[in-house]
Amino acid sequence: MNFSSFLLMRQEIILLTIILLLLVAEISISKSKKQSIVHLAIFLFGIHTIVGFLPIESGKLFGGMFHSNELVHFFKNVLNVGVFILLLQSADWLQEKVVDENKGTEFFILLFSSLLGMYFMISAGDFLMFYLGLELSTLPVAALAAFEVTKRISSEAGIKFILSAGLASGVSLFGISMLYATSGSIYFDDIITMISATNLTILGFVLFFAGLAFKISLVPFHFWTADVYEGAPISVASYLSVISKGAAVFILMILFFTVFKTLMHVWENIVYVIALATMFIGNLFAIRQQNMKRFLAFSSIAQAGFILLGLITGTQLGTATIIYFVMIYIFSNLAAFGVVQAISLKTGKENMNDYEGLYRTNPNLSLVMMLALFSLAGIPPVAGFFGKFFLFTAAASEGYYLLVFLAVVNVTISLYYYLLVVRAMFLRTSDQAIPYFKNKLYMRLGLLITVIGILVIGLYSPLYDYIFELSKNLN
Amino acid sequence: MIAGISIYEILTVTSILFFIGIYGFITRKNLISVLISIELILNASVVNFVVINKYLYPDMLQGVIFSIFIIAVAAAETALAVSIIINLYRQISSVEVKDTEIMKY
């Protein structure tokens, strides 16, 4: 083993370097110039995102604990772009509220450590690395959820998240121990050859799946989602709903399509039921929400249900459509959260009826919000339609007609509540409409990138072909 | 390996421990007790790993190594949870579950 093979974990090494550089910067920058930490972090992470697009070799490290290939590398780039947009959108909040309390660097270090954990989780080649990555990605987020220490609601979100996450990882570990008992190894490569559908394996698999389903907030495990999103700072809620969920979907897909491929006749039924429950409960509960953060929380639960439609196929088409859908979901949801964040920062308002008459005072923001909601709902010209369409095609091509039909019913339900927001913004007038305000450069840049993403990804077909080509690595 | 005790007895004990943990997580009224229940679940998995390693696959040390990592991570998790609970206590002077219900449905 020579040192050049460490280049396989280039992304991890660069991110770790950024974390260390920020620590040094925190010590060396004087208190009056602390604002520059935000610029520094965004600049460094921007370079990291661009460097990430350079090609990387495939291979294994540490005796198979860590593996990397083009598909995994692409996942990491998608997460990078998402986090970069998130940083742009939260820069104003950080500069106005957080840096003054001398907590700016903390925010970045916690956020980047969590991202580092996700890298390791996606690249994992055995359950030990997977578990460590999972915990490294979860624990900093709990600290971030309880970030506003003077607010009761934020601490409440933090404690709810850490306790539910602890239970989920504990149950998941018990499942892993059963898988270890039946296959005699914790390495994915060994388990693939040893696994068979015995009772103990299936019990272990179900317990293990419960832990991951918690991270994606699938239905029996979704109770923490709305509370944590409402209590946590908006940047953190956005991070949880987009990046954290995306990473968990990626690793779930990798595990289902490689390690647990033999158990497909078992997990097909489980995923079928959970997909239906997730879509219906997410959509029906979203209708009665007034707080925008809770509203987006239930909408993100419903979107996770749609993702399972691609998972159930177990084919290359399914893989490609899931990745494509998650990409579009990242851009659309970030746009919606960005608008909520901009308004909440300027006025402190987060309820749906505060948005009435927004189009007359802030036409640009309401246009971004409308595009984001249309993309989440799946209305044709924007990317979300293509994402959903491909997912439904993939599921239908495997013969799940009833499931696809019920999913289409759910799209209709979701259209209702997404349009409630659009109606409040465009058709209603209000005396207490939010007055006109101008966003700072970072926020405008962040929203612009998401809008470009929403409009372009759907129409630029070489991207889908590229993803389809990459998906061969998995099947 | 312990003479006279088979793997079945130990696995029964760990399974009971696991379900006591789940039961405690659901029924306890105090946040610290909920945290202790999570520790029970994690410890059940730790014992599981060591026992399976020792009895079934004694030539490799994967399970033992895994259990050491679980203990370390569990300590970090508990520290973080306790610090958040302390922060909550400063604001509401209570660590009861029923006092953390201002967000519902």
- Residue A120 makes CB contacts below 8 A (sequence gap 6+) with A12, A66, A129, A132, A133, A136
d(CA A253, CA A326): 12
- Residue A212 makes CB contacts below 8 A (sequence gap 6+) with A172, A248, A251, A252, A255
Q: Residue A460, by phi and psi: left (phi above 0), alpha (psi -120 to 50) or beta?
A: beta
Structure tokens at A252: 């779930």
Q: What is the ipTM of this complex?
A: 0.94
Going by pLDDT thresholds of 50, 70 and 90, the confidence category of residue A274 is very high
> Would you say how long chain B is, in residues?
105
- Do A267 and A257 meet the contact criterion of CB atoms below 8 Å apart? no
Q: Which residue of A has its CA nearest to B59?
A: A184
Q: Across the interface, do A166 and B100 touch by the CB < 8 Å criterion?
A: no
Nearest by CB: A155 against B18, B73, B88: B88
d(CA B45, CA A146): 28
In this prediction, residue A139 carries a pLDDT of 93
Q: What is the distance in angstroms between the Cα of B19 and the nearest Cα belonging to chain A? A: 10
Rounded to an integer, the average pLDDT of A27-47 is 88
Partner residues linked to A59 by β-bridges: A68
Q: What is the distance in angstroms between the Cα of B55 and the nearest Cα belonging to chain A? A: 10
Does this model's pTM top 0.95? My answer is no
Q: Which residue of B has its CA nearest to A129?
A: B66
In this prediction, residue A306 carries a pLDDT of 92
Q: What is the distance in angstroms between the Cα of B42 and the nearest Cα belonging to chain A? A: 5
Instruction: With a cut of 80, say whether residue A2 has pLDDT above it.
Output: no
Rounded to an integer, the average pLDDT of A28-48 is 88
Going by pLDDT thresholds of 50, 70 and 90, the confidence category of residue A141 is very high
Residues in chain A within 8 Å Cβ distance of B88: 152, 155-156, 159
d(CA A351, CA A374): 19
Contacts with B, A 264-293, CB within 8 Å: 285
Q: What is the distance in angstroms between the Cα of A140 and the nearest Cα belonging to chain B? A: 9
d(CA B25, CA B35): 8
Going by pLDDT thresholds of 50, 70 and 90, the confidence category of residue B105 is low
Q: Across the interface, do A158 and B103 touch by the CB < 8 Å criterion?
A: no
Q: What is the distance in angstroms between the Cα of A400 and the nearest Cα belonging to chain B? A: 32
One-letter identity of residue A384: G
d(CA A282, CA A304): 9
Quote the mean pLDDT of chain A: 89
In this prediction, residue B12 carries a pLDDT of 93
A241's enclosing H/E stretch is none
A425's enclosing H/E stretch is helix A401-426
d(CA A234, CA A90): 8
Architecture of the structural domain at B7-95: Orthogonal Bundle (1.10)
Q: Which residue of A has its CA nearest to B54?
A: A181
In this prediction, residue A1 carries a pLDDT of 62
Rounded to an integer, the average pLDDT of A95-101 is 82
Where does residue A150 rank: exposed (0-12), middle (13-18), buried (19+ CB within 10 A)?
Answer: exposed
In this prediction, residue A332 carries a pLDDT of 92
CA torsion angle A286 A291 A292 A297 (round to 10) = -50
Cα angle B54-B60-B63, degrees, rounded to a multiple of 5 = 60
Encode pLDDT of B36-52 as tens digits.
999 999 999 999 999 99
In this prediction, residue A43 carries a pLDDT of 93
> What percent of chain A stands above pLDDT 70?
100
d(CA A370, CA B94): 43
Side-chain half-sphere exposure of A175, counting CA atoms within 13 A: 19
Going by pLDDT thresholds of 50, 70 and 90, the confidence category of residue A475 is low
- Do A321 and A383 meet the contact criterion of CB atoms below 8 Å apart? no
In this prediction, residue A78 carries a pLDDT of 92
Q: Residue A220, by phi and psi: left (phi above 0), alpha (psi -120 to 50) or beta?
A: alpha
Rounded to an integer, the average pLDDT of A271-292 is 90
d(CA A331, CA A400): 28
Instruction: With a cut of 80, say whether residue A473 has pLDDT above it.
Output: no
d(CA A212, CA A25): 36
In this prediction, residue A381 carries a pLDDT of 80
Residues of B with CB under 8 A from a CB of A: 18, 21-22, 25, 31, 34-35, 38, 41-42, 44-45, 48-49, 52, 56-57, 60, 62-63, 65-66, 69-70, 73, 76-77, 80-81, 84-85, 87-88, 91-92, 100, 102-105
Q: Across the interface, do A176 and B44 touch by the CB < 8 Å criterion?
A: no
d(CA A464, CA A458): 9
Encode pLDDT of A168-195 as tens digits.
999 999 999 999 999 888 898 888 888 8
**Over A92-135, what HEC string results?**
HHHHHHHHHHCCHHHHHHHHHHHHHHHHHHHHECEHHHHHHHHH
Instruction: With a cut of 90, say whether residue A16 has pLDDT above it.
Output: yes
- Do A251 and A124 meet the contact criterion of CB atoms below 8 Å apart? yes
In this prediction, residue B20 carries a pLDDT of 95
Instruction: With a cut of 90, say whether residue B14 has pLDDT above it.
Output: yes
Nearest by CB: B38 against A170, A231, A285: A170
Structure tokens at A73: 């590398």
